[in-house]
Amino acid sequence: MVRQSDITRVELQSGNIQKIADFIAEETPLHLFVNNTFWATILCSPDNLKELAVGHLLSEGVLKSIEEIDEVELKENQENACYVKLKHGIKAEDRVKLSKLHSRVIPSACGSASPYQYTGVTPRVPLTLKVKAQVIFESVKQLNFKALGFRQTGGLHVAAIYRADGSLVALAEDVGRHNAVDKVIGMAALNNVRFDECFLASSGRLSGDMTFKAARVGIQVIASLAAALSSGIEAAEKTNVTLVGFVRGKRLNIYTVPQRVIF
């Protein structure tokens, strides 16, 4: 996920020029298949790739639950592919065709945002979770301390899933904010965590694709160090997700469904 590279550092004020070793965030393509049907190529950080594959397929609605998975096979090195094999009787080709996202590349910068997310069946989460504002604040604050890769490189996003009491369930870093979210969703799902009892924390902007990913697996609250985008607010209103941004500096902004946050 992180490697060293020789660079030339220039200090403009002093005019000092140094050749030093610096840490660089790695980015690699992961070719994802459902059975033997190609789904997408994801540009991502090369760690937790099985969890990324599972979380991505869940958050994009290709998988309904991990109970549909028979096996996850990761082939690294030259092929760098992950094959998610479904149980007998589940037609992977039909799932891929219905998704309208067959044969595509998902860049680390922009994620999977596209008009398809605003059409068709919109997931809508229930109003059952309650989380203390202080728990949300402290949980998001912890991201800065737990994100070792970000501190080394400045080039990674971090995401985490916490229970309502603030206990950590899963944490991951990636060059893409949406990939980091998929990784923690995959980690939690593979450990049979109930998403309706948890909230998602992220370092990335709260966009429409991030909101839909959470809603599809039943996460009711998303909190971030960063701002909410108009697409994120629109998606949160449609899915009944609580969106909390700018969680820093002893404050937080609640954009939608504030009833879930206890003061």
Bridge partners of residue 224, in order along the sequence:
202
Integer angstrom CA distances of residue 172 from 23, 106, 107, 189, 229: 18, 18, 18, 14, 23
198 is catalytic: no
- Are the beta carbons of 243 and 222 closer than 8 angstroms? yes
Rounded distance between C-alpha atoms, residue 188 and residue 166, angstroms: 15
- Are the beta carbons of 44 and 28 closer than 8 angstroms? yes
Bridge partners of residue 201, in order along the sequence:
160, 223
Rounded distance between C-alpha atoms, residue 216 and residue 223, angstroms: 17
Query: Can you point out the beta strands (E) in the chain?
Result: 2-10, 17-25, 28-34, 37-44, 69-75, 81-86, 104-106, 131-132, 157-163, 168-174, 198-202, 221-224, 242-248, 251-254, 261-262
Pick the catalytic residue: 44, 82, 110, 198?
Answer: 110
Say how far residue 178 (Cα) sits from the centre of its chain.
4
- Are the beta carbons of 200 and 159 closer than 8 angstroms? yes
Query: Where in the sequence numbering do the catalytic residues fall?
Result: 110
